[in-house]
């Protein structure tokens, strides 16, 4: 099985269109590596591909990834399916770029599929071409193309601590803003018949005991790397919310991701969904050195993993 990180940044990308902070300035000047919004492509055979989330940058990501280029006929795509881990704009908006009458299967939790169903703009994806298939949390299921063709992959999706998408928040619903089961999921993707594969968790608010147990000993985990510290956006003067308020763990600190993974015996630990304010995006930063010294890779567009 092969996985390609086609987008490694959080919502807005890096540099973000309206951001003039130091990191974004460096990226525009060519002194920091640009990154598009979070998505990964996986394949069992290198020919047929499944996207894990469809970012607003999808057209650009496809153009930059030869494995995803059309290869036959006048209209073709090797993308056979898309699997959504939540309904955040940076994970679903790319579906609107896939409206050009090419078939693929769309997978999501019942909650995420209901959000798409309630928004008529997603009706541009004709059900005759794009079947919507519910992921049942905690169950292993095979992935298939739009015509039911076996793609050689199977997945298990599982709920992770998180938050409902920003545009669905209900301020009157209390501290969880109306979050329901299935709003945020992680996914274990593996070759059919294999016991281990890739864990993809681009959004996570806490490493719960159940999640710790699940990830222990995993060969590869791609994990939420949104912020270095919880108050990062406030301190940078570009936001008013903490990471926890947005549904994201921070990398550093006693309760951060690096500390939480320290004894989990994970093979490759790769941060993805990295916000433009996060100093680990900058080569040579102290934060980058600390993360790498702890055994973490900083995800980048084009990073390939073979299992």
Domain limits for position 78: 2-306
CATH number at residue 273: 3.60.15.10
Nearest residue to 164 via CA among 148, 155, 176: 176
- The whole-number pLDDT of residue 150 equals 98
Q: Hey, what are 221's tokens?
A: 């985990």
Q: What is the pLDDT of residue 174?
A: 58
Mean pLDDT in residue range 142-148: 97
pLDDT for residue 243: 62
Q: Are 221 and 187 in contact (CB under 8 A)?
A: no
Largest CA distance in the chain: 54
pLDDT of res. 239: 76
Per-residue pLDDT averaged across 222-236, rounded? 88
pLDDT at 232: 85
Tokens of 301: 């567009």
pLDDT in tens, 116-133: 999 999 999 999 999 999
**pLDDT at res. 131:** 98
* Beta strand segments in the chain, E: 2-7, 39-43, 49-52, 79-83, 105-109, 132-135, 140-144, 150-159, 185-191, 198-201, 220-224, 268-272, 296-298, 304-306
Asked which of 45-59, 214-228, 237-251 is least confident by mean pLDDT, the reply is: 237-251
Instruction: Note the pLDDT of residue 152.
Output: 98
The helix/strand/coil state of 148 is: coil
Round to whole Å and give the CA distance between 16 and 84: 23
**pLDDT tens digits for range 153-183:** 999 999 998 766 656 655 665 555 556 666 7
User: Residue 175: its pLDDT value, please?
Assistant: 58
Domains identified in the chain, total number: 1
Cβ atoms of residues 124 and 150 within 8 Å: no
């Amino acid at each position: 099985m092969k996985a390609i990180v086609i987008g490694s940044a959080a919502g807005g990308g890096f540099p973000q269109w309206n951001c003039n902070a130091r990191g974004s300035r460096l990226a525009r000047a060519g002194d920091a590596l640009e990154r598009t919004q979070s998505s990964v492509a996986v394949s069992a055979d290198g020919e047929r591909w499944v996207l894990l989330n469809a970012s607003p940058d999808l057209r650009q990501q496809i153009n930059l990834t030869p494995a995803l280029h059309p290869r036959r006929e006048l209209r073709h795509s090797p993308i056979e399916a898309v699997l959504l881990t939540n309904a955040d704009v940076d994970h679903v908006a790319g579906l609107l770029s896939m409206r050009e009458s090419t078939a693929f299967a769309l997978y999501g939790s019942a909650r995420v599929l209901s959000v798409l169903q309630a928004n008529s703009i997603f009706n541009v994806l004709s059900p005759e071409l794009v079947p919507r298939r519910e992921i049942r949390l905690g169950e292993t299921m095979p992935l298939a193309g739009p015509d039911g063709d076996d793609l050689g992959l199977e997945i298990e999706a599982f709920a992770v601590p998180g938050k409902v998408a920003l545009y669905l928040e209900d301020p009157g619903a209390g501290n969880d803003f109306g979050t329901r089961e299935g709003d945020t999921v992680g996914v274990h993707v593996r070759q059919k018949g294999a016991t281990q594969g890739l864990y993809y968790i681009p959004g996570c608010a806490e490493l719960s005991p159940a999640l710790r147990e699940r990830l222990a000993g995993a060969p590869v985990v791609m994990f939420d790397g949104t912020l270095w510290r919880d108050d990062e956006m406030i301190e940078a003067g570009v936001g008013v919310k903490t990471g926890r308020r947005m549904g994201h763990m921070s990398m550093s600190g006693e309760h951060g991701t690096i500390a939480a993974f320290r004894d989990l015996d994970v093979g490759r630990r790769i941060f993805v969904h990295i916000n433009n304010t996060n100093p680990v995006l900058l080569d040579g930063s102290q934060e980058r050195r600390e993360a790498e010294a702890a055994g973490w890779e900083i995800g980048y567009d084009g990073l390939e993993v073979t299992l």
